[in-house]
Structure formats: structure tokens, C-alpha cells
Chain A
Amino acid sequence: MSELDLGAATGLHRRTVRGSLSPARLWRHTGVRRLVILAGLAAIWQVAALWQNNPLLFPTFTDTALAFIEAARSEGMLWSALASVFVLLKGYAIAIVLALVLVSGAVAIPFVRDVLQTLTAMFNPLPAIALLPLAMMWLGLGEKALLLVLVHSVLWPFALAALSGFEQVPETQRLVGRNYGLRGPSYVVRILLPAALPSILSGLKIGWAFAWRTLIAAELVFGVSSSQGGLGWFIYRSRNELLTDRVFAGLACVILIGLVVEMVIFRFIERRTVLRWGLQR
């Protein structure tokens, strides 16, 4: 009602800008632009696959989409995906908690900071997947071994990001917190954590990407003998049966989950926090 009045009062031009269906306004929406980009990529894929005409090596987009639906319906691909996500969340959570404990120690005690910095410098360049053989020897072929490599893949990059976030909290804001008599945990929670949130969030994003990659790779390597079978295992199995469209469907599923987490969940959190506060553009 009032919206209409406003449009009428300020004339036609204003109405075209505000109208929810105008292309210009839609285009300003990030989600819409992303969808257009995805549609463009799908079109290129389709044309390239038709031109190659070799469904065994390079199925078309539409074939993949059909295989995706089929696999989701009858092959339990979504259950495999769910199993992967579940293991991933477990490892992710353990790593985040561990990292926060380490970083809190590092913020409070200079020696712990040296320890943490040495450890991150040592382990950050070590690909998580390279630990897998060792993890399998130590912990057998199961979730525990997966969790170990997952934790390794998330812990160090996230700890590094969180530590630098805490260290970059402006001196004035620290003094303001202390001025109110805040100390210990309540000082950390009320001042340091929100002030360091931009770095913490970007650490969470990096950690998520690393964890997802590591998990799928680990499942591909030893999914053969694993009992539960995640998304990586689904891809591996489909490849063995030369069901290339299903391999593509599995990969699409990996990408889709990654996209949803990045663009929906993290984007939502960022818009509610660091973007709203002007801490990040």
C-alpha cells in the first residue's frame, strides 16, 4: 500500500527502479547473477559435450542431470553425500574447538604462541591426504582415520587465521573492554571474538573448503574398503562400473554442497555480521 503510494508520488522512473520484476533490479541481486553464470557454464558444457560426442568420457549436461536425479532416487547418492557431510562436520567441529583452545592459549601465553606458530608453519604445507597412509596404519580403515586427516586439514589454517584475527584487534577496542572491567573469558567473548570475527569467518571458510576436499579425496583413496561409503566412495564405485554420467553427477553433488555452504550459509552469516558492521566490504 504505502509502497504503491510512494511509487505514484515519485513518478515512473522510481517505480521501474523499485519494481521487483525489473531486470535491472534483479541483476543487482548477487544470487541472480550467480545463477546466470551457472546457466551459462551449463550451456557451454552441453555444447562441448554434444560436439565431442563421447558419452563414455564426457556426458552432456542433460545426461548428467538425469543421472543425478536417478542416482539421488535409486542409488542413494544423497545418503552417501549425507554420510560424507556428517563425518566432515564431526572433524570440522573437533578441529575448530582444538584450534580455539590453542589460539586462546597463544593469546594469553607468549610461549604457547611460539609453539602454535611453529606447528602451523610445519603442518600447514603438509597435504592432509599425505597423512592418510599413516592414519590408516594407526587407526585402521574407518571413521577415525578420516577424522584424523580432516582435523589436520582444518586445524592449522583455521588456527592461523584466528590467531592473526585476535592479534589485529585494534588497541583502542582492547582498552575500551578493559576500561569496563572486563577480564578473562568475558573479555574474550565480548570484545576479542567479535572484533576478530572477519578473520575467524575467513578461517572457517578456508577450513571448510580444505575439509571438503580432503574428505572426498580420502574417500576416493580408501573408500573401497570402507563400510559406510561417502560421496567419494560413490564416485569411485561409479568409475569402476564405467558409469561416467554418474561420476559427473557425484562431482556435481560435491560442487553443489560446496556452493550452498559458501554462498548460502557463509554469505548469510557474513551479511548478518561483518558486512553489516562495516568490518568487511
Chain B
Amino acid sequence: MSVSASPAPTFAPAAAAATVPPALEARRLTLDYTTDAGTVRAVDSVDLTVAEGERLVLLGPSGCGKSTILKALAGFIPATSGSILVRGKPVTGPGPDRLVVFQEFDQLLPWKTVRDNVAFPLRVARKVSRAEANARAEAALARVGLTRALDAFPHALSGGMKQRAAIARALAADPDVLLMDEPFAALDALTRRQLQEDLLALAEELKFTLVFVTHAIDEAVLIGTSLHLLSPHPGRTLATRDTAHFGLADVGSPAFESLTREVHGLLFDKAAHV
């Protein structure tokens, strides 16, 4: 594998902490759900490190705990054990330094126009003045091609436009880490590809730090700079891969296909590889 291509900080947290801590780090993260039937372990001792400007993709079969990890990173659910650090500081709850883009179309607040939806987190979380918040919202919406829909209410947007607006909302607030939970999963194939391309272009331009959850292997290889494979229930780290060298032009190339096939093998018949 291309392990040698990875920069040092990923493998030397102690040394990194002395200089610049990674944007996001999870150490031996274990997550349980308490239900009437008892305690369910969803995620078991997962380590993650996301350096500044990196895009980590969590990939695994349905029910393996991807959303659970993301919710923990966002601070919505507490860790049973282990820790989560943002720029070296422990996460104690949700906060605007980690903005989430969800899969659901109803994540835009229906009582606000598209512009106000994007300006809202700037106003409440970043305490930006109304004029500046609006200006930044309009700029972010222009980036995702939604200038036409500034004054529309969310119910009048298509699914793809809603997800674009949600991405613009997260981008505008300039968080330390962007968290996305299958943001394109409910879209048709054409729109999904378009949004993947647009997201990649934005990532190239803005160099944001991203944790992206998906269960589509090609999407994972395309979007991420590194891949984190999870085993089914409870989620454990299966393998990690560096995918930084794959871009849009590589989709369908032999290297892309062979990695896709290898990941597929790792996820669905572990025995053949272990």
C-alpha cells in the first residue's frame, strides 16, 4: 500500500501534539446505546486522526456505526470511553466548530429563507452582524450555485438544491471540521455525481477539513484523502487506506478500480484478505 505517501503526523500523535494538534482526533472511541433491552455496543475502540485540510471517509456496511461515530464527533452523544479532541481540546458537547450536513432533506429550517438559513449559524454561533452574515451567506450560496434561490423557502427547493444549501450553510460558518453523514445518499445518480464533483472542487479551493460518511465505495474513494473502513456491528477499524491521489479524472482508471475491488473484498469477505 501507499503508506509511505502519508505524512508523519498521522502516525506520531505525540510529536504532532508538541507542534500543531490535528484538526480532529478520536482515541479508542467506544460508543454504546442504552435501550430497554439493555446496552448495545455500536462502536468499539476506534482511533481516528484527521489532519488540517484532510478529508477522512468513514466507510462500512449499514448499521456498522458510521452515523453513531459522526454524532459522537459532533457532540450529540457522549463517548462511553475514549476521547475526542478538536485541535487538541476535548469535545464536551455540540458546537459550531463542528458543523454537520445531514442526509435528511428537512435539515434546512423551513421557516427561514435559504439566505437566512445560511446566515443563521453565523448570527447565533459566530455573533456576526446581520449585514456581514447576509453577505457571507450570499457568497457561500453563490459558490454552490444557488444565487437564484436566495429568497426561496426550503419547501420550494429540489432535494439537490436543499443539500447544496446545507453545504453552503456549513461552509459559510467556517468550522474547524465539517461533518457530513451521507449527504448525497437520497439523491438520484446524476445529481449525486454533480454534487460530488462540486464538493471536490470546493475542497480543492477552500482546503476544509472533512469527515464524510458513506456506504458507497466509489464515492468514498473519490471524495476522501484517506479511507477508514469499519467492520459490521459493532463498528471496529478494519483497515485504513490513503486515497489522496485519486481525483475526478481517475474514476474508472485501473488503479481506482483495483482499490475499489480491494475495499469491496475487505468489507464483504474479510476472510479472503486477513
Chain A residues close to B by CB (< 8 Å): 170, 172-173, 175-176, 178-182, 186, 190-191, 194-195, 197, 273, 276-279
Contact = CB atoms under 8 A, between A and B. Distances in A.
Q: Secondary structure at chain A's binding surface: helix, strand, loop or mixed?
A: helix
10 contacts: A172-B107, A175-B74, A176-B102, A179-B100, A179-B121, A180-B121, A186-B124, A190-B124, A195-B111, A278-B155
Nearest to B103: A172
Nearest to A278: B155
A180 B156 CA distance: 24
Interface string B138-164: 000000000000000111100000000
Contact of B102 (A175, A182, A276): A175
A197 B110 CA distance: 11
Contact of B76 (A178, A180, A181, A190): A178
Contacts of B106: 170, 172-173
Interface stretch (B38-46, B91-99, B206-214, B237-245): B91-99
B184 interface: no
Nearest to B166: A176
Given A172-B106, A175-B76, A180 B124 contact: yes
A96 B155 CA distance: 30
Interface residues of B, number: 23
Interface centre among A178, A191, A273, A279 (most CB of B within 10 A): A178
A153 B120 CA distance: 38
Given A172-B102, A179-B94, 12 more contacts: A173-B109, A175-B74, A175-B76, A175-B94, A176-B109, A178-B94, A179-B96, A180-B121, A180-B124, A194-B109, A278-B110, A278-B156
B197 interface: no
Nearest to A191: B109
Contacts of B176: none
Contacts of A176: 100, 102, 107, 109
B32 interface: no
- Which 5 residue pairs spanning A and B have beta carbons closest together? A278-B155, A194-B111, A172-B104, A178-B94, A277-B110
Nearest to A174: B76
B167 to A, nearest CB: 14
A277 B124 contact: no
B15 interface: no
Nearest to A186: B124
A181 B98 CA distance: 10
Contact of B155 (A172, A197, A277): A277
Interface centre among A172, A197, A276, A278 (most CB of B within 10 A): A172
A105 to B, nearest CB: 23
Contacts of A181: 94-96, 124-125
Contacts of A190: 124
A278 B153 contact: yes
A279 B125 contact: no
Nearest to A175: B76
Contacts of A197: 111
Interface in B50-100: 74, 76, 94-96, 98-100
Contacts of B111: 194-195, 197, 273, 277, 279
Contacts of A180: 96, 120-121, 124-125
B169 to A, nearest CB: 9
